Chains A and B, each alone.
Chain A
Amino acid sequence: MSDPALAAKRTTSPWRRRLASSLTPGIIAAVVAVVSLALLWVALRLAGFDATLALGALWRGSFGNWYAFTSSTLVRATPLVLTGLAVAIAFRAGVWNIGADGQLLVGAALATAVGLAWGGALGWAALPIALIAGAVGGACWAGIAAVLRTRFGVLEVISTIMLNFVALDLVGYLVRGPLQEPSHAYPQSNAIPKQMHLPFLIPGTRLHWGFALGVAAAVILWWGMRSTAAGFRVRAIGANADAARIAGRIDVARTTTNVLLLSGALAGLAGAIEVSGVTYALYENISPGYGYTAIAVALLAGLDPLGVLATGIVFGALEAGALSMQREASVPSVVVTAVEAALVLLLLALSRRGKAASVIGRFSGARSASADEAS
């Protein structure tokens, strides 16, 4: 090989890596926050609102004071972090789980059902069992997609999105049928027993222990993906399934199934936590699309678990702030949804050569040609 080529490889590669590693989760979150505020300002001005007033309301409703930060932002961030982790770990494996929302719903439903059926009898064990039931429910729901993929070759990107609608209808049926509250007046379940409620993490706020579980899950996944053989297998099949199978002798189908199950379990846990920490009952619209926002959360975080924690909190703040913006400045909260979408598009446009783009590239079936060797 020629010397100039080696010299170039010396310079480009470590530089890129240093840049990548310096983009710590905190910086990602800060950049996301600043860019989304700028986008929001533009959107508000275009729509003819008083942008200063609206952004002030957004601030007061998200980071403005301790109560807003803990009781709105972090509470809202909890399901986004957990479903964001579910999406991130699946995407890292090249498994396109778009069904976190459905898995969350099934998790919420199963946790509610378990709580209502045995909550009183189980005593202190009711809460952990309900959370486990939620995770199991989500995993089973994702497991359907796993079986469809490994046995019948059905692409999980199709099956998981379809299962979202099935889950939505299932919850709709449950809250009008078997789980409906006794008066049969409202499409919702009875309230779950008190001992099933998640305790509050910080006294005087509504922040529950579910957030701590989300943080723990992020840290464990971050460590697991880096430092365990199983995490390495997940990264390997996502980066190159052929090499993983041939050089690594990795059972790709089994690893894919395991990842889908874990992903579903995280989303299902998010559902159980929503029920036992926030709503205390099952509602049809218990998820305002957490599992879809999770895709944006995961992509903006570069599929890094600690990054998901950071972007999940930023998105939680945006959504919490949107509600206060609606109250104080009469700005429809969907503006924030539009900004979230614009953020993802911006990310994809700016990082055409980056990781997120390659994720989307593979997602759409396109294969980028490997770099031409100068010869």
Chain B
Amino acid sequence: MTTSSAALALENIARRFDHVRALDDASLVARDGTVHALLGENGAGKTTLMRIAFGLIRPDAGTIREHGRLVELPSPAAAIALGIGMVHQHFSSIPALTVAENVALGGHGAYRVDRVRARVREICDRVGFALDPEARVVDLTVGAQQRLEIVKALAHGARTLILDEPTAVLAPREADDLLAMLRGFADTGGTVVLITHKLREALAIADDVTVLRHGSTVLAEPVANVDSNTLAEAMIGSAPPIEARHERTEPGPVVLSAHELSVSDARGVTRTRDVNLDVRAGEVIGVAGIDGAGQHELLLCLAGRLPATAGYVEGPTTIGFVPEDRHRDALVLEFDIAENLALRDAGFARGRLVWPRIRARAAAMLTEYDVRAPSSDTMVGALSGGNQQKLVLARELEPKPRLLIVENPTRGLDIAATAAVHARLLGARDSGAGVVIYSSDLDEVLALADRLIVMFEGRAREVPLDRDAAGRAMVGAA
């Protein structure tokens, strides 16, 4: 790969944050008209490198070239001026405004509604998006919000698009559509840099792939020269990924049963309708469904976190629950580890909290559950995502609940942390707990489940453990 023909070439980039070397010797060369996959585990430096390419962070060392020309990127504005656009993991649109208004933000001169609308339509037609310029962002699905982010970048004239884990929030079909759109954008001369940790995605659509490990580029090849084994090895080093151990055991008695259960969300919209479900000890019920099909409300209700609007649940009082949004629903980031462990069922606690005793127990649990933290008074916000999730699991598994309910347990985790979480979940099942797992990654559900429930428009249906059957059921097909 020569750098002169490259839309964007980052060479030997280094960057420290205080005493952390986020990037050591990272290079990435994205050629014109290609999709370039940037792979790496959490903390490998992928996002940092791309934030440098978008002018959000300045490198300590190294060079950036745009079509061979040495450039400085002191700000995102400088990057945008060079035709570089970035779609972040966390969207940056204003919910109360319409699609067109959001696109117009950051523009110059007078705001002409009809002109912006026409521009949005033109861009959508060009890349094959369905997006109503007049819709308010607050009413858009996650997928549509992401399309808006891309349209915003394109409206600013982006020829090089950087996307940070764009498929993490999408249902499989939406993800496929997005990847097809990105492929089309590259085929018409654009350049795409796709940050991902999904090997299959990289292999399916990328032309070239760069792998970062510990802040350095360890592999940069055309996709044709690599396979999933080489990529996985480059990402995690020599240790192979641990397979989720999966042996069917004979299920025990029913630990939870839901009868004609209906649940509404916070706005009063009925999201889950007439669900009947039995969960037995020693089995994993996998739940699949596209975003918003009612699985979130169902799991919250089964876990006793949301009241049923109709029907009822019979279950144990001690329920382990791992919510999908760790930072929002599971942890208090500005509390330390011991305090977060004390949070479990704090609503029913009485009297005094004996902190020395809680801290001693917390310290023991850190070892027991392999949470890497200096001590029990470390702020949880300072832990890595994987260690935060292990901490949540430790808290929920500690009282040995007969029922464990889990949403997207490995979102944003690297391979090693994912394997550790899977092992814990199956361990809970093997020790006799009933386990309900929802994941937006269908493959994860299939890998863990003994039985599969698919949610569609609020209704639940049991489906054989088969990828095609599940995929059809998720979109409502027979």
Contact = CB atoms under 8 A, between A and B. Distances in A.
Given A6-B384, A11-B19, A240-B328, A1 B414 contact: yes
A374 B47 contact: yes
B289 interface: no
Interface in A140-190: none
A117 to B, nearest CB: 38
B378 to A, nearest CB: 5
Most A CB contacts (10 A, CB to CB) among B20, B22, B373, B384 go to B20
B378 A228 contact: no
A5 B45 CA distance: 10
B331 interface: yes
A315 B304 CA distance: 47
A8 to B, nearest CB: 4
A8 B346 contact: no
Contacts of B392: 247
B346 A243 contact: no
A208 interface: no
Contacts of B41: 1-2
B142 interface: no
A248 B46 CA distance: 34
B46 A2 contact: no
B18 A12 contact: yes
Do most interface residues of chain B lie in helix, strand or loop, or is the interface mixed?
loop
Nearest to A245: B305
Given A8-B18, A10-B374, A370 B381 contact: yes
B353 A247 contact: no
Interface stretch (A57-65, A196-204, A229-237): A229-237
A373 B328 CA distance: 15
A1 B343 CA distance: 26
Contact of A249 (B342, B348, B395): B348
Nearest to B384: A1
A239 interface: yes
A239 B17 CA distance: 27
Interface stretch (B167-175, B280-288, B332-340, B456-464): B332-340
B333 A240 contact: yes
A232 B340 CA distance: 11
Contacts of B379: 13, 16-17
Main secondary structure, interface of A, reads helix
Contact of B21 (A4, A11, A232, A245): A4
Contact of B381 (A2, A243, A371, A375): A371
B351 interface: yes
B332 A236 contact: yes
Contact of B355 (A7, A227, A243): A227
Contacts of B352: 227-229
B44 A375 contact: yes
A50 interface: no
A244 interface: yes
B204 to A, nearest CB: 22
A240 B304 contact: no
A16 B335 CA distance: 13
Residue in B18, B351, B353 with the greatest tally of chain A CB atoms within 10 Å:
B353
Contact of B43 (A5, A11, A243): A5
B345 A239 contact: no
B372 A248 contact: no
Interface in B318-366: 321, 323, 325, 327-336, 339, 342-355
Nearest to A358: B334
A233 to B, nearest CB: 6
Given A9-B383, A13-B374, A371-B381, A1 B20 contact: no
B74 to A, nearest CB: 19
Contact of B323 (A246, A250, A369): A246
A4 B321 contact: no
A113 B40 CA distance: 72
B44 A2 contact: yes
B32 to A, nearest CB: 27
A375 B47 contact: yes
Interface residues of A, number: 43
Nearest to B334: A239
B305 A373 contact: no
A228 B358 CA distance: 13
Nearest to B21: A4
B432 interface: no
Contacts of B385: 373
A248 B392 CA distance: 12
A365 interface: no
Nearest to B17: A374
A372 B47 contact: yes
B431 to A, nearest CB: 22
B214 interface: yes
Interface string B384-415: 11110000100100000000000000000010
Interface in B212-243: 214-215
Contacts of B345: 248-249
A232 B342 contact: yes
Contacts of B355: 226-227
A9 B339 CA distance: 18
A242 B329 CA distance: 5
B127 interface: no
A4 B385 CA distance: 15
B382 A370 contact: no
Contacts of A240: 328, 331-334
B270 interface: no
B346 A248 contact: yes
Given A229-B350, A242-B328, A9 B378 contact: yes
Contacts of B330: 243, 246-247
B19 A2 contact: no
A119 to B, nearest CB: 38
Contacts of B381: 370-371
B42 interface: yes
A14 B377 contact: yes
B378 A244 contact: no
Given A229-B352, A236-B343, A374-B47, A14 B335 contact: no
Contact of B384 (A5, A249, A369): A5
Contacts of B348: 249
B374 A247 contact: no
A58 B30 CA distance: 69
Given A1-B414, A244-B332, A374-B48, A249 B305 contact: yes
A227 B385 CA distance: 29
Contact of A17 (B19, B353, B377): B377
Nearest to A375: B47
Given A232-B353, A240-B328, A373-B47, 10 more contacts: A1-B387, A2-B215, A8-B17, A14-B377, A229-B350, A229-B352, A233-B349, A247-B331, A249-B345, A371-B381
25 contacts: A1-B386, A1-B387, A2-B43, A2-B44, A4-B20, A7-B19, A7-B20, A14-B375, A14-B378, A227-B352, A232-B342, A232-B346, A236-B335, A236-B346, A240-B328, A244-B347, A246-B305, A247-B395, A248-B346, A249-B348, A250-B346, A373-B42, A374-B20, A374-B48, A375-B48
Interface of A: 1-14, 16-17, 226-229, 232-233, 235-236, 239-240, 242-251, 369-375
Top 3 closest A-B pairs, CB basis?
A229-B349, A8-B20, A250-B347
